Amino acid sequence: MIGLISATAAGAAARDRLAAAWPDRTRVYEGPVGDAVRTAFAQCEQLVCFLATGAVVRLVAPLLSGKTEDPGVVCVDEGGRFAVSLLGGHAGGANELAREVGDLLGAEPVVTTATDAVDLAGLDTLGLPVEGDVAGVSRALLDGEAVALRAEVAWPLPPLPVTDQGSYTIRVTDRLVEAAEREVVLRPPTLVVGVGASKGAPVEEVLGLVEDALRGAGLSVASVAELATVDAKAEEPGIVEAARRIGVPLVTYSAEELAGVDVPNPSDAPLAAVGTPSVAEAAALVGGGELLVPKRKSAASPAMATCAVVRRPGRGRLAVVGLGPGARDLLTPRAKAELRRASVLVGLDQYVDQIRDLLRPGTRILESGLGAEEERARTAVEEARKGQAVALIGSGDAGVYAMASPALAEASDDIDVVGVPGVTAALAAGAILGAPLGHDHVSISLSDLHTPWEVIERRVRAAAEADLVVTFYNPRSRGRDWQLPKALRILAEHRTPATPVGVVRNASRPDESSRLTTLGALDPATVDMMTVVTVGNTATRDIAGRMVTPRGYRWQSAQEGSE
C-alpha cells in the first residue's frame, strides 16, 4: 500500500489525482501532517508526501530502522514539478515509484542513487536474493574497476560491466556458501523441492525435512523456486504452511501427470494412497532437471513427510520487441523496460540506431543489415539458449511482417519467449488519415520475396470481393514496380474510382507526409517502400478531409437517407 500525505490545497489536489488513478494501491492519510507521516510509515510499504523534502526528512528521521525495513519515500513539491526519491530508492522501490508518479503527474523524477544516475542495473534490483558486499561491488562497478562474474548456474541477467577476472566478484549460485570479501552472491531460483506428506503431517516436520535436505546437499533455501506436490495434497496444511514460510508458491500436479514421470525410487505406498508411485521425486522432476537429492523421509517415527530436490536448468529469455513506427513517444513503456533488461540486443542496424541511447551500458549489440532476418532470428535464439537475456527488435509490431514469426520458428521450449507489442504501420498511418480502419480490414504485403505473387493476388482478390479495407505494406520498390498497379486494378473491379485512398510515408517520423486521394487518381509511381497505402471499402468516405470507414453500414445508410 502507498500512503499519501499532503498539507496544502495544491498538494491535496495532486494527492487526489494519484488516489483516483491508483485506487487499489493507495490510501490517503488525513489529519496533522506529523501524525499522518508516522502512521503511514508504520502501515505502508511506500509513501508519497506532497511536502518539502526538508520537512519530510525531519519527520521520518526518528522513524528509520534500516535499509531493508524502511518504506520507500517520494516527495512531490507543491508545484508538482519534481518527484524526488528520498528514501529506499532500491529496497523500498522509491526510484521506480518516483518515475511512476512523474509519469502520472507530469513531474520530473529525481533519482540520485549512484547506479541509477549512470544507468547501471543495481545489484539489489535484479529480483534475486543478494548477499555480501553489495555497496563495495557496486562502487567498483561505478568506478570502472575489474569485477568478475562467476556464474555457477546459468541465469539471464541485465547488462553488467563485468570481466572474467577481477578483484571484486559477482557470484551467481544456488550453493550454500557465504560471500567472500569483496564478493556479492546472487541466488537465482533454480531449485524445485518435491514434497509428499501423510494427512496431518505437522508443518515443523515438513519444513524441517526440506531445510535438512537442502543443507545436507549444500544448497541454499534462498534459491528454492517452488514446492511441488500432487493435487490431492494441494490443501494439506503442513505443506501449504511450509511453502508460505519459505516464501514460494505451492505447485500441484495430477496423479496421472506424476505417474508418467520416470523416477529412481517408486513406491507402492503413494500409488495406493493418491494414485502415483512417486510424489516427491516426480513432482520435482516433472519439469525436467537434475535430481540433486533423491527421495528422503523425515526423521520422525513414523515418518509423515518425504521430499526430493531438483535443479532445473537456467532458461534464457528472448523478448521479441516491437519498436513502433519510429517516434519515441510511440515506443511503449514495456518495450523500453525490455530494452533495458536485455544483456544482448539483436536487430537491424537502422533500428538499433533508433534506440541505442536507451540501452544500459554493457549491452552487447549484434546488428546486421537488410535481408538478414532469418540470421538475426537464429542468432537471438542461440544467445537465449546460452542463458542470456536477449531482446530481438523490429519496427512496428514484432508480430506483423517482422521478427516474431522467424524467431518463434527457430525457438523451442528450452527458452522463455516474451512478445512485446508495438504500434504497427497500419495503425500509425490510420491515426494520421482519420479512421480508415473503423470496420473490418486486412493488411497485405505486396512483396513477393517470401510469398509467391499468385498467393498474394489470390488474397487481394478475396479482400476485394469481401469489401474489406486493405492496407498494403511493402507496396513498391525500384525492383518491384508492377505489383501495386496490379493490386489496385483488382480492387477497382469491385470499387468505384472515387473510393478514398490514404497514402502515408514515414508515419510518425520527422519527415512524415500524408495525403488523401482516390482509387482512380492514385499514381503508383509516387509510392515507395517507406509508404503505407490504405484503400477504403465501399462505405469509406472523405469527411472534412479525413478518411472514415463507419463501424456499420446502417450508420452510412441513415446518413445518406438524411441528405
Find the mean pLDDT for residues 331-348: 92
What band does 454 get if pLDDT is binned at 50, 70 and 90?
Answer: very high
Burial tier of 411 (Cβ tally within 10 Å: 0-12, 13-18, 19+): buried
What length is written for the chain?
A: 563
Per-residue confidence (pLDDT) for residue 444, from 0 to 100:
95
Per-residue confidence (pLDDT) for residue 143, from 0 to 100:
82
* Rounded Cα gap, residues 57 and 86, in angstroms: 8
Q: Which three cell numbers stand for residue 27?
A: 490510501
* Rounded Cα gap, residues 470 and 456, in angstroms: 13
DSSP string, 367-420: EE-TT-HHHHHHHHHHHHHTT-EEEEEESB-TTSSSSHHHHHHH--TTSEEEEE
* Rounded Cα gap, residues 319 and 421, in angstroms: 10
Contact status, residue 287 vs residue 194, Cβ threshold 8 Å: no
Q: Please give the DSSP secondary-structure letter assigned to residue 183.
A: E
Nearest residue to 242 (alpha-carbon basis) of 205, 292, 294: 205
Find the mean pLDDT for residues 175-191: 93
Per-residue confidence (pLDDT) for residue 426, from 0 to 100:
94
What band does 119 get if pLDDT is binned at 50, 70 and 90?
Answer: low
CA 518 to chain centre: 42
What band does 563 get if pLDDT is binned at 50, 70 and 90?
Answer: very low
Q: pLDDT, tens digit, for every residue of 211-240?
A: 999 999 999 999 999 999 999 999 999 999
What percent helix, strand, coil does the chain show, rounded to 5?
Answer: 35, 25, 40
The count of other CB atoms within 10 Å of the CB of residue 154 is 17
Helix axes 453-465, 483-492, angle to 10 degrees: 30
Find the mean pLDDT for residues 358-366: 89
Find the mean pLDDT for residues 24-41: 90
Against a cut of 0.95, is the pTM above it?
A: no
What band does 378 get if pLDDT is binned at 50, 70 and 90?
Answer: very high
Find the mean pLDDT for residues 438-453: 92
| Residue in the structure block whose three cell numbers are 505494406 | 473
Burial tier of 393 (Cβ tally within 10 Å: 0-12, 13-18, 19+): buried
Percent of the chain with pLDDT over 70: 97
**Average pLDDT of every residue of the chain:** 90
Q: Which residues contact 147 (CB under 8 A, 6 or more apart)?
A: 137, 140, 141, 160, 161, 162, 163, 166, 168, 169, 170
Q: Which three cell numbers stand for residue 308?
A: 526430493
The count of other CB atoms within 10 Å of the CB of residue 178 is 8
Q: pLDDT, tens digit, for every residue of 71-85?
A: 999 999 888 889 999
Q: pLDDT, tens digit, for every residue of 82-95?
A: 999 988 887 788 88
- Stronger pLDDT, 119 or 63, i.e. the higher one: 63
Per-residue confidence (pLDDT) for residue 114, from 0 to 100:
59
Per-residue confidence (pLDDT) for residue 553, from 0 to 100:
57
Q: pLDDT, tens digit, for every residue of 238-252?
A: 999 999 999 999 999
Does position 8 have pLDDT exceeding 80, yes or no?
A: yes
What band does 561 get if pLDDT is binned at 50, 70 and 90?
Answer: very low
Find the mean pLDDT for residues 137-161: 86
Does position 562 have pLDDT exceeding 50, yes or no?
A: no
- Phi and psi at residue 470, in whole multiples of 5°? -120, 130
Q: Please give the DSSP secondary-structure letter assigned to residue 324.
A: B
Report the DSSP pairing between strands 546-548 and 541-543: antiparallel
Contact status, residue 234 vs residue 250, Cβ threshold 8 Å: yes
Q: Which residues contact 65 (CB under 8 A, 6 or more apart)?
A: none
Q: pLDDT, tens digit, for every residue of 58-67?
A: 998 998 888 7
* Rounded Cα gap, residues 539 and 439, in angstroms: 9
Per-residue confidence (pLDDT) for residue 439, from 0 to 100:
93
